[in-house]
Amino acid sequence: MNFNSSIAVKAGLIGAAAGFVVAILGRIPFLGCIIAPLGWLVAVGAGVLYVHFATSGGAAVQIAEGAVGGAASGGIAGLVNALISGVLALLFGGVRAATSALGRGEVGDAAIGAGVGLVAVVFAIIAGTVFGAVLGAVGGLVYAALKSQKA
C-alpha cells in the first residue's frame, strides 16, 4: 500500500473548499434545505478525488489505499464543512438568542443557551469529521474498486 499524504491533503483541501461553499450556501433560508445534504457528498467526492489523483500518474491504487486516502481526504473535507457550519450556526443562532435574552435581563437563560450551543457545535465538528472520514473512505474504496476492475 502506497498511501501518499500529499495527494490526500490536496484532495482534502479541494473537498474542504467545496465544503466551505456548501456551508456558506446552506445558510440561505430556502436554498439551505436543498444544499445541506451535499455536505456529505463532498466527503465522498474527496475520497474519489484521492483515488483519481493517485492514479493520474499511471500507478495502480489498491483498494485499501483508496480507503485510507479517501478517509484522510474525506476527514479534512468533513472537518472544514462542520467547522464552518458550526461557527455560522453559533453566530446566527446561539449568539443572537443569547443577546436577545440578555436584552430582556435573563442572564441565566443566555448563559445556558450559549453553553449548550457551544457544546453542540463541538460535538457536531467531531461527528462531522468522523462521518466525513467514513464517507471519504467509502468513496475512495468504491472508486478504487471500480478502477481496478477496468484495468
pLDDT band at 109 (very low <50, low <70, confident <90, very high): low
Q: Specify the pLDDT at position 94.
A: 66
Q: What do you get for the CA distance between the two ends of the chain, in Å?
A: 18
Place of cell 457528498: 41
Round to whole Å and give the CA distance between 145 and 141: 6
The predicted model gives 61-81 an average pLDDT of 93
Q: Specify the pLDDT at position 141.
A: 94
Asked if 53 contacts 10 with a C-beta cutoff of 8 angstroms, the reply is yes
More confident call, 39 vs 127: 127
Please give the residue range of the domain that contains residue 100. 5-150
Number of domains present in the structure of the chain: 1
Angle formed at CA 144 by CA 148 and CA 63, multiple of 5 degrees: 90
Q: Specify the pLDDT at position 15.
A: 93
